[in-house]
Amino acid sequence: MNGLDAALPWLAPSCASLAALARPSMSFWASIRHDPAAILLLLRHADDPSPPRDETVLLFALCRLTEPPVGLFDWNDSAHRTRLESSWLLARLTSALAQRTGRADQVRAWCVGLLTPLAPVPTLRRIGRAWNLPSWLTETFSRVELPSGTLGGDGSLCALLRLSIFLARKRGVDLGLIGRGEALDADAALLGLRCDDLVADDLLTDEFHVPAWRSPYDLPLLRELLTVAADNLRLRGGKTYERLEAETDQLQAVLRDQVRCEAERLRQAKLTALGEFAAGAGHEINNPLAVISGQAQYVLSHAADWLTADDEGHTIKALQTIIGQTKRIHGMLRDLMQFARPAPAHPSRFDLPTLMGEVVSSVAELAAVREVRVEVDAPHRLTVWADPGQVSTALSCLLKNAVEAVPAGGWTRLSLQADHTFIEVAVEDSGPGPSPEQRPHLFDPFYSGRNAGRGKGLGLPVAWRLARQQGGDVRLEPPRPGRPTRFVLSLPTDEGPENRRAA
């Protein structure tokens, strides 16, 4: 046999692959991914090549093995080996591109790359209909020779396949399926890549070993193994077992959601109570503060007439201290209100790297006093839709927290990255980072991990609160040995109502 044929009842997997189907384990995919026949067998019975959950797949293989040998695809045959080496190369390239771009499932990408070189595209389409293969696979076979976007839909999987065929051709493996450069450029643009920058050797970093092929018809004990495995699956309930596992997974997901929602409701209840307290306390405290500050300023304004006996200025200094401390209390109340009841966000379009530079400038004096180096890694322009004032305040809180946590001679860095769903600004520093005891309380109001020179403990909570106002978040990345402390401010990529209307 020179390849797939629509008239074949099946393609026979190797002995090792059928044995892996009979004994699915954690290494199941690694045991069969090199075998196109095993993957086709699974895709005839499920939407993805997953381990058998009932006896259907095993009984199908057992039935074929009791008939005269057909569908043999001996890897040791030189003619078949050449075709299979093309399949293995294309599968590795397609899967690696899927991993790099994140635009398609890696297993599905591997499958289309592995199966495409086995036969001409019309034969693949007929095989797909005859064997009832999944729609995502047959649609990719239908699209691969057509220009990008011809049939509508996402097309990411087909774009990955065409770029992989292009890379395989650069390595001397020409499948004769693509030609026009502008079509490849469109595929690369769809995936966020540049066609000229793609190098196959940069993608083929995994170790790939193919075991020896042996015909499953030559090993009678294999049929007994499949029979026992099918009986075991039948005894385990097959579909019933799968349904119970699905229900268990669903209950676990509901429990996780409930725990998360309860924690969020508790946090919101605390914020509501804190907001009521802050509003009442702020009003009640600010009134006497204003009186104290006003009276002190009034006396200070008449110091020349009323305090002529105060030659050393002690009274004046005391009055200035009173005024300064009332302003400090007022600032604390303002920060508390900003956390508990922030003003509604007023989003607009602004350049995030420019705003990052302004934030760095605003803390330059503090950094110089503490002898901390501040770096910015934002080489490109990036326009976002958010409240620039609130984003600036949130970044300032995070950066000040980093500068204050770093010992003299240390550094802190702002960096920017974006993907399809979120824009992230990372604030890293060379400090020791919060201890395990401190981490659960980092975003609690008035909690400060610094004993000496203790801060107000509102910087991180305010940053978190203002980020949530934009539909984003602030989080501490899990600490890793030898890596800097890393807080991340994330913002959604929503570009605003006027752009949504234009789209």
Token pair, residue 284, equals: 């009640």
Distance CA 16, CA 14 (A): 5
∠ Cα 1 208 37 (to 5°): 30
Distance CA 397, CA 382 (A): 21
The whole-number pLDDT of residue 380 equals 76
Pick the closest to residue 184 from 176, 175, 193 (CA basis). 193
**CB distance 353 to 380 below 8 Å:** yes
Domain boundaries, the chain: 15-243, 247-340, 348-502
The string of pLDDT tens digits covering residues 94-103 is 999 999 999 8
Helix 135-143 vs helix 121-130: crossing angle, to nearest 10: 160
- Partnered with residue 345 across adjacent β-strands are none
The whole-number pLDDT of residue 2 equals 47
User: If pLDDT is split at 50, 70 and 90, which confidence band does 471 have?
Assistant: confident
3-state secondary structure of 337: helix
Helices and strands (H, E) in the chain, number of each type: 20, 7
Three-state SS string over 116-146 comes to HHHCCHHHHHHHHHHCCCCHHHHHHHHHCCC
Task: Identify the DSSP state of 218.
Answer: G
- Partnered with residue 426 across adjacent β-strands are 415, 488
User: If pLDDT is split at 50, 70 and 90, which confidence band does 1 have?
Assistant: very low
Token pair, residue 457, equals: 């403990």
The enclosing H or E element of 384 equals: strand 383-386
**Residue 383 pLDDT more than 70?**
yes
**CB distance 148 to 188 below 8 Å:** no
The whole-number pLDDT of residue 270 equals 74
**Comparing 473 with 206, which gets the higher pLDDT?**
473
Pinpoint the alpha helices (H) of 379-429: 388-405
Q: Determine the average pLDDT of the residues in 196-223.
A: 85
**Residue 17 pLDDT more than 80?**
yes
Most confident of 237-246, 300-309, 465-474: 465-474
| CA distances for 175 relative to 112, 172, 377, 446, angstroms | 14, 10, 43, 65
The whole-number pLDDT of residue 97 equals 93
The pLDDT > 90 percentage for the chain reads 31
Pick the CATH number of 348-502 from 3.30.565.10, 3.40.250.10, 1.20.120.1690, 3.40.50.300: 3.30.565.10
End-to-end Cα distance, the chain: 51
Pick the closest to residue 429 from 399, 457, 456, 452 (CA basis). 399
**Residue 159 pLDDT more than 80?**
yes
Q: What's the CATH fold of domain 15-243?
A: Hypothetical protein af1432 (1.10.3210)
Distance CA 129, CA 31 (A): 27
**Residue 498 pLDDT more than 50?**
no
Q: Determine the average pLDDT of the residues in 106-116.
A: 94
Of the candidate ranges 144-158, 166-180, 240-254, the one whose mean pLDDT is the lowest = 144-158
Distance CA 142, CA 125 (A): 7
pTM above 0.75, yes or no: no
User: If pLDDT is split at 50, 70 and 90, which confidence band does 502 have?
Assistant: very low
The string of pLDDT tens digits covering residues 431-455 is 888 888 888 777 777 666 554 334 5
Distance CA 195, CA 188 (A): 6
The whole-number pLDDT of residue 105 equals 93
Please give the mean pLDDT across all residues of the chain: 83
The whole-number pLDDT of residue 292 equals 87
**Residue 204 pLDDT more than 50?**
yes
Q: Determine the average pLDDT of the residues in 249-255.
A: 85
**CB distance 326 to 292 below 8 Å:** yes
Distance CA 328, CA 325 (A): 5
**Residue 302 pLDDT more than 70?**
yes
**Residue 477 pLDDT more than 80?**
yes
